A and B are shown apart, each in its own frame.
Chain A
Amino acid sequence: MQRWIAWAVLLAVVASVGVAGAAPSRPRLAMILPGVIQDADFNAVGYQALKEVQATTGVQTAHSEQVAVADAERVAREYLASGYGIVAFHGGQYLTIVQKLAPLFPDAVFIMESSGQIPNLPPNVWNIGRKFHEGFYVLGVLAALSTKTNRIGYVAGIRLPDFVASLNAVFQAVAKYNPRAEVLYTFVGDQNDPVKARQAAESQIAAGVDFIVISVNLGTVGILEAARAARRPVLLTTFYTDKSSYAPQHFAASLLSNFGKPYVEVTRQILAGKRGGYYEMRPGSGFGLTPPRNVPPEVARRVQQVWRAVVLRQERVDEITDRVVERR
């Protein structure tokens, strides 16, 4: 009997030592962010995702904010030199750096974001493709069904393929659900300039717009001011985070983005050994819609129906990124 116990104890000790010794030290994850995490917008959700990764997978994390593209390579190299095994870039503007660094550091894994599947990526790169336009389609439906003046506004910053696709999705939605309505759009040139955003919104409101689909980040507060200063009720939608607390009577819905979902999933895959791949972030897997408010209940119900249809791919949204298609 004693011999059995001794063998059992020895086995247990060996097993635990073996496990502790053989368990590979978990790679650490560093995230590079283009802006500040207190923006309650794109960077805040990135930071939230990072925290979620740490909480759910136990991977140690670090981050750098306000990393301009010109500095991102240097920042990434510093992380890699400090032993971080996973470097994540929150934003599509870092593609070129990932393409450059990934072959140079084959032992590390890189996570990047873009608007779709990119061909010929190195094998140690995970690509999160963000399909914003599918979410904006539903916002377009909400706008189409809620507008009383039949004039809908769209305010975006830089004329990027993502936003062009979102604008086209709004056009598609309006053409289908309210063909009499007109869509007025302005690209103000800066995602984070509230002054320009306000001026653009005021111009649109003066032209009769009563529902604005917002596609700027920090510029949102400017559009909010324009809505508050307007002589008749104006409804707004935003994206990334729910900003309705700024002025509850003006917000109709927000397209929420939960980057935690893609990042946790991708991290899990990396830990399981899959060092490269593609994850599509779309309504239902990363994008969510707040329940519509300040609109009639039947409109809210209809919109949520459309959302579910988009999630299940029963309702298809075209993706046109190179030019604006005004009428369908």
Chain B
Amino acid sequence: MTARAVARWQAAAPYAVGLVAALGVLAVLVAALGGDAPAAVGSLVRASLGSAAGFGQTLNKTAPLLFGSVAVILGLRAGAFNIGVDGQIYAGAVAATGVAFLAAGLPKLLAVPAVLVAGAAGGALLGAVPGLLRARAGVSEIFVTVMLNFIALFFVEYLSTGPWNDPMAGEAITRAVPPSTTLPLLGVRVGAHAGVLLALAAALAVWWLLYRTVFGYEVRAVGDNPTAARLGGIPVGRTVALALVASGALAGLAGAVEVSGFHYRLILGLSPGYGVMSILIAVLSRRHPLVAIVASLGFAALVVGTDSLQRSVGLPASAVFVVQAAVLLVLLASEGLRRAP
């Protein structure tokens, strides 16, 4: 075997360990709840990947996770931690819904792109806040993005229970967006919408941006060594700010896709933890957008699968976070062990 192949296997080994760890942790949790662990794992795979309907739902979940994880990756590459993906998803969803209501009369070919662009703009706006604060005042984006998450959530609550509320629903749900603004389906019974294709395109676009453009080069340079980058003439502050804006735009697209592809409304529970999952996926993918495609699919399958276990074993929803985080911790530890003297 060539040295390169050996290196590839060595790089992949932690992922295999991670996968085993995931299944192991899951088996332990299931057993602790009195369930049949092997059967649980089997039903998990079946529910998420084994049936057309299940796979469709997995694809639907992949879309926001992929958007979110490449958003985080873009930020990480510039050395910034975008923990505000949840808030940016909501901001994008708000903008998308608003534009959707306005675009009621437009033909589908115009309405859908308008809604998507609005979503990106909404997310970008929210990403600009930490970006500007970091560029101008050197404020860490970690705290700002988290606070903005809360603020965005309250704003969505205001809209979905106030001016945009659907009175018949009696809940924090807005009126439906016009049919001309909805994304096409990939198969009616399967239930998957075109959003996953958009997310795929976004991941490829981010890859191309990072590795084939000057801006991408600058982003990576700033992320790897800001001092050297500054000395090399790259405007560090501006680059980081732009990266955060772009990161926000990607997350905002996730929000737009969820509204126009999945719910057809703006709802309060639009993002059930996509933000934190995106961070985990980004780290797991070693900050590489193409690896994130596979990782997002894997996480989506895990979410869909563990949810089906809720019915058979009584595994609570929070278990999926435990499994995901445990996998990452194992991975981080194994890499650390390899590196330690």
The residues of A with any CB-CB pair to B shorter than 8 Å are 36, 62-66, 68-71, 73-75, 77-78, 81, 91-93, 95-96, 100, 104, 114-116, 118-119, 130, 158-162, 189, 321-322
Contact = CB atoms under 8 A, between A and B. Distances in A.
Contacts of B172: 93, 158, 160
A73 B310 CA distance: 15
Nearest to B303: A71
B51 A81 contact: yes
A161 B176 CA distance: 17
Contacts of B154: 189
Given A104-B188, A158-B157, A161-B170, A70 B272 contact: yes
A95 B316 contact: no
B308 interface: yes
A116 B311 CA distance: 30
A73 to B, nearest CB: 7
Contact of A62 (B268, B311, B317): B311
A172 B259 CA distance: 38
Contact of A189 (B157, B265, B270): B157
B224 interface: no
B334 interface: no
A66 B170 CA distance: 19
Nearest to A96: B265
Contact of B310 (A66, A95, A161): A66
A91 B171 contact: yes
A104 B189 contact: yes
Contacts of B166: 95
B51 to A, nearest CB: 7
B170 A78 contact: no
Given A114-B168, A116-B168, A189-B157, A70 B307 contact: no
A64 B306 CA distance: 12
B165 interface: yes
Contact of A78 (B47, B168, B176, B189): B47
B57 interface: yes
Interface string B179-201: 00000000011010000000000
Contacts of A64: 310-311
A93 B168 contact: no
Nearest first, the 9 closest Cβ-Cβ pairs linking A and B are: A115-B170, A93-B171, A92-B170, A74-B57, A92-B171, A95-B169, A68-B269, A159-B161, A69-B269
B176 A96 contact: yes
Contacts of A81: 51, 53
Given A158-B157, A160-B172, A96 B310 contact: no
Contacts of A115: 167-168, 170
Nearest to A190: B157
Contact of B165 (A36, A65, A161, A189): A161
A279 to B, nearest CB: 15
A70 B271 contact: yes
Given A114-B168, A114-B170, A159-B161, 6 more contacts: A66-B317, A68-B317, A73-B191, A73-B262, A74-B60, A95-B169
B113 interface: no
Contact of A158 (B51, B61, B161): B161
A96 B264 contact: yes
B162 interface: yes
A160 B154 CA distance: 14
Interface in B143-162: 154, 157, 161-162
A16 B312 CA distance: 35
Given A73-B191, A75-B307, A160-B161, A114 B169 contact: yes
Contacts of A116: 168, 170
A118 B189 CA distance: 26
B170 A65 contact: no
A116 B166 CA distance: 12
Interface in B246-300: 258, 262-265, 267-272
Contacts of A162: 170
A147 B316 CA distance: 43
Contact of A159 (B51, B60, B162): B162
22 contacts: A36-B316, A63-B311, A66-B316, A66-B317, A68-B272, A69-B263, A69-B268, A69-B269, A70-B269, A71-B272, A74-B61, A78-B53, A91-B171, A93-B173, A96-B169, A104-B188, A158-B157, A160-B165, A162-B170, A189-B157, A321-B167, A322-B167
